[in-house]
Structure 1
Amino acid sequence: MCEPKGVAVGVPLAVRPDPRRDDGRRPVAWLHITAPASWSVTPSAHSWCTCGYERRAIGRAAVLQLVAAHAEHRTTCPLLESLSEGRAA
């Protein structure tokens, strides 16, 4: 004997809010550093932004300079400046 069903098949029991709500934030600038655990392997880094800024570095000193350049770009990027102005308003 078949047990009765409370609702039709495929009909949700309750409507729930979407758990993945969009808060409007989007990544604009990225910094990817590859630094292997072994000191004998050369580190590398890649920095890029949606405004068109893109730099790469190979070697310890160059990677450190790229990290500093990436931080500097984040303070001067026109895309990030417009985002920070919107937050302050």
Structure 2
Amino acid sequence: MSTPPAPSLKSLPAKPTGLRAAAQAAPGPAVGEPTGAARKGVPSAPRPDPHQADGRYPIAWLHISAPRGAVPTATSTCRCGRDRSAVGHTKVLALIDAHTAHRDTCPLRNHQEGRQAA
């Protein structure tokens, strides 16, 4: 009994004859497709521009650092050139009061032209 010859592994299979449609992909979410609310098309609420200028801008800063168990420190800085610092409980409290009082005397906050004209 003779067996038929084994096909060669190096040869290409026979070329199909005729046309046929490509296989369809299974339905499902595409890669990178948004999920949750974005997928459902929920509109986002338009918000006002958070960077819209209202005419106000910072002039003076008070930075207080009081870590637990350590000595508190504070710095008071103003655009008019005032720059103060304090170390210790009593000096920091005094600097806070001085920073608050500086609001009334700061030349950038209180225009001197109006006082001189009156």
User: Equivalents in 2 of 1:70, 1:21: separation in Å?
Assistant: 28
1:49 is the counterpart of 2:78: yes
The one-letter code sitting in structure 2 at the alignment partner of 1:59 is: G
User: Equivalents in 1 of 2:53, 2:102: separation in Å?
Assistant: 27
Q: Relative contact order: is structure 1 or structure 2 higher (C-alpha 8 Å, sep ≥ 6)?
A: 1
Q: Which has the higher helix share?
A: 1
1:59 is the counterpart of 2:88: yes
What is the Cα deviation at residue 64 of structure 1? 0.4
Structure 2, unpaired ranges of 5+: 1-45
Q: For 1:27, which of 41, 58, 65 is the aligned residue? A: 58
What is the Cα deviation at residue 24 of structure 1? 1.6
Q: Which has the higher strand share?
A: 1
User: Equivalents in 2 of 1:21, 1:63: separation in Å?
Assistant: 35
- Percent identical among aligned pairs is 48
What is the Cα deviation at residue 45 of structure 1? 0.1
Query: Please, what TM-score do these two structures have when normalized by structure 1?
Result: 0.66
User: How many pairs were matched up?
Assistant: 66
Stretches (4+) displaced over 3 A: none
Give the aligned partner of residue 68 of structure 1.
97
Structure 1, unpaired ranges of 5+: 1-15
User: Equivalents in 1 of 2:52, 2:93: separation in Å?
Assistant: 37
User: Equivalents in 1 of 2:53, 2:95: separation in Å?
Assistant: 32
